[in-house]
Amino acid sequence: MGGRSGSKVLVTGGAGFIGSNLVERLVSDGHSVRVLDNFATGHRGNLDAVIDDVELVEGDVQSYERAHRAVKGCDVVFHQAAMPSVPRSVQDPLTSNSVNVIGTLNVLLAARDEEVRRFVFASSSSLYGANKELPKRESMSTLPIAPYPVSKQAAESYCRAFSEVYDMETVCLRYFNVFGPKQDPASFYSAVIPKFATAIASERPLTIHGDGEQSRDFTFIDNVVEANVLSASAPAQVSGQAFNIACGERISLNTLVEELERIAGKKAIVEHVEPRPGDVPHSLADVSLARELLSYEPTIGFREGLERTYEFYGRGPA
């Protein structure tokens, strides 16, 4: 890949928020794209723009048979399928583990059996957890404090093990608070930016857990898509490694609301409630390793990304 069009690639979870944006980019770059999704959290409508240009396999990563069928003949696998959300995992740790650990192991086994060249795994910054040191560096201890990041850490470990014992190239990307078009604002477990954007657009109250001074390294979707594409073609030395994918900028929820008010030209109705269990107070990435080894550069900053996102969500009542 990396400018080499015509590769056969699989995107698991390709109807989800990140997956569908990645699928559109891969199709645009001229690759032959297969999507595996069970539509538990993804939406068919996310693929409307490319549905005639992709092969869709409907099924669950928890089935080895389905995973093997999807992987067959592929050069690169982008494993985006997951049961996302820290709060959801606190409510239902068993499903989080089944999808994120067993599902990942199934796709890894299928990729090994089909001799896939590169396996790119969607990991999470949440696995740094209780480690208070900022910025987050890949060499730091991971101290996950909720079932979701525990599952991502286990899946990362499997990726590293497959790289070591099966000589299969794997790359793990630790996403930091990805946002952008096609993120579902309606889900109870939805990420904060689509929830806030649609609330302000439709003049409904938005909810902040805690005082709003908690901060995140919000990362626009195009940066994450680019990181995936780069990871597919990076030199073999990256195999078995994990990389932070972010912007390297810390934004509080209160600042996020202020920026959305500026973009929308209207005031938000803010309601503060108790903090959520499993949430970390602050998150900030050091992306120097991804810069060095993946040639990653976050080209779209927080404010430009937020403007694009509000344009997508702010067209009227949600």
Q: Is 148 a catalytic residue?
A: yes
Q: What is the DSSP string of 165-199?
A: HS--EEEEEEE-SEE-TT--SSSTT--HHHHHHHH
According to DSSP, the β-strands at 169-175 and 118-124 are parallel
Which string of DSSP letters, residue by residue, matches 243-301?
EEES-S--EEHHHHHHHHHHHHTS--EEEEEPPPTT--SB--B--HHHHHHH-----S-
User: Are 36 and 11 in contact, with CB atoms under 8 Å apart?
Assistant: yes
Q: How far is CA 42 from the centre of its chain?
A: 13
pLDDT in tens, 47-73: 999 999 999 999 999 999 999 999 999
Phi-psi region of 181 (alpha: psi -120 to 50; beta: other; left: phi over 0): beta
Q: Which of 287, 284, 309 is nearest to 297 (CA)?
A: 287
pLDDT tens sequence across 171-191: 999 999 999 999 988 877 678
pLDDT tier at 315 (50, 70, 90 boundaries)?
Answer: low
pLDDT of residue 318: 36
Q: If pLDDT is split at 50, 70 and 90, which confidence band does 129 have? A: very high
Instruction: Indicate the average pLDDT of the chain.
Output: 95
Q: Are the beta carbons of 248 and 298 closer than 8 angstroms?
A: yes
Running DSSP on this structure, what letter comes out for residue 141?
P
Cα separation, 206 vs 291, in Å, equals 36
Query: Which residue matches tokens 């600042």?
Result: 255
Residue 209 phi, psi (nearest 5):
-85, 115
Taking domain 8-178+220-248+283-300, whether its CATH number is 3.40.50.720 is answered by yes
Mean pLDDT, range 252-263, rounded to an integer: 98
Q: What is the pLDDT of residues 6-35, one digit of tens each?
A: 799 999 999 999 999 999 999 999 999 999
Domain positions in the chain: 8-178+220-248+283-300
Residues 69-115: tens digit of each pLDDT: 999 999 999 999 999 998 899 999 999 999 999 999 999 999 999 99
Q: Of the residues 148, 158, 296, 310, which is catalytic?
A: 148
pTM score, two decimals?
A: 0.95
Half-sphere exposure of 221 (CA within 13 A, CB side): 23
Question: Is residue 240 pLDDT above 70, yes or no?
Answer: yes
